A and B are shown apart, each in its own frame.
Chain A
Amino acid sequence: MTNARIAIPSPIKSGDVIEIKTLITHPMETGLRYDSMGQVIPRNIITQFECRCGPDLVFKALLNRGIAANPYLSFFFEVVSNCTLEFTWQGDKNFYLREVREIRIDR
């Protein structure tokens, strides 16, 4: 089971710099730990996060081991037009989650 939380403030005026917050369930297993049988627990982390507004990249993060489980990321974004925000998380074991949110400028 994987799920994400995304918070976008509202209302938004043109030119506002808004903070977008994201949170996702993920074990972020470092690959440096051993199980009770002495076997290495394979690395299983999110390696990349992207947020796009249409085709334009808004924010991108490359993640590494040593980040706590269920990573929280927040970033700022200047809104100049209505757009569809696309959030993607990718990682080990073909991990992939995509979420979409509409940004609407209020008058």
Chain B
Amino acid sequence: MKSVLIVSLCLLFCYSCSVRAVEEPPRMPERTLTEVHSGLFYQSADTQALQNDNFANPGLLWVDRGLTLWSDDSAPGVPSCAECHGNISQMRGVATRYPTFAAEKNRLLNLTQQIQECRVTRQHHDPLPYESEILLALTTAVVHQSKGLPFDVTLDKQTYPYWVAGKNYFYERRGQMNLACNHCHEHYAGRMLRGDRLSQGHGNGYPAYRLQWQGVGSLHRRLRFCNQGIRAEPFDYGAAEYVSLELFLAWRATDLVVETPAVRR
């Protein structure tokens, strides 16, 4: 009788072991922000007005470029994006699902990297630098199709480890100033940091037009600035660390909608 009990206890123990070993995402990971605001909320009235102006928002110049590139069939023998995907409005909702796990690549891809994939494997172009005007314009135009839609990234067995990596990165101190993302974007959101009013650090408006850049830049460009601002070594554009962080940011912004192209100071 005693041995039966021990054996069954053992079995039970092992069973719970094996359950814990599988990295299932928790159904509702806790969020630290009680009230969620887009970066737009923290901008000056002028900048808000510029973003909301459907003509004068300068980010729309990049959307227009992206639309031209979408149906560009000037290279002989190269199908345009439109030839395979139809009207760009078919891309509505796509950006809300990114970054996403690409089984054939066995890694997490963001939207810019997916567009690069299509350009290289399906259009046989040479790969472009991540922050090149062409990739920026195409990304801005594709993300813009999802304007007004909420984020909808998938947390499952495949994406969960990336989400964890992104979350850890967000709460880890780094750089000479020894600060983590949450210090600025959660503790001090709403307060001034030199000329900037700190937002909650969401990526829902990217690629965004930044007045200081006098142009459109990717979320990774913004993240590199945030790293450099605390004298931490930034990662390269398109680095796996930033893509994981992007997944965490998209999940963290679940209650917000896509605003691309946002306008920022």
Contact = CB atoms under 8 A, between A and B. Distances in A.
A70 B55 contact: no
B65 A1 contact: yes
Contacts of B58: 23, 70, 72
A3 B61 contact: yes
B68 interface: yes
Nearest to B64: A3
B132 to A, nearest CB: 11
Interface of B: 55-56, 58, 60-61, 64-65, 68, 133, 137, 211, 214-215
B56 A21 contact: yes
A25 B61 contact: yes
A7 B64 contact: no
B61 A23 contact: yes
Given A3-B65, A3-B68, A5-B61, A27 B214 contact: yes
5 contacts: A21-B55, A23-B61, A24-B61, A25-B65, A70-B61
A23 B55 contact: yes
Nearest to A7: B55
A68 B214 CA distance: 8
A97 interface: no
Contacts of A28: 214
A61 interface: no
A5 to B, nearest CB: 6
Given A21-B55, A23-B55, A5 B214 contact: no
Contacts of A100: none
B215 A69 contact: yes
A27 B215 CA distance: 9
A52 B56 CA distance: 22
Nearest to B215: A69
Given A1-B65, A3-B65, A23-B56, 17 more contacts: A1-B137, A3-B61, A3-B64, A3-B68, A5-B55, A21-B55, A23-B55, A23-B60, A23-B61, A24-B61, A25-B65, A27-B214, A68-B211, A68-B214, A70-B58, A70-B61, A70-B215
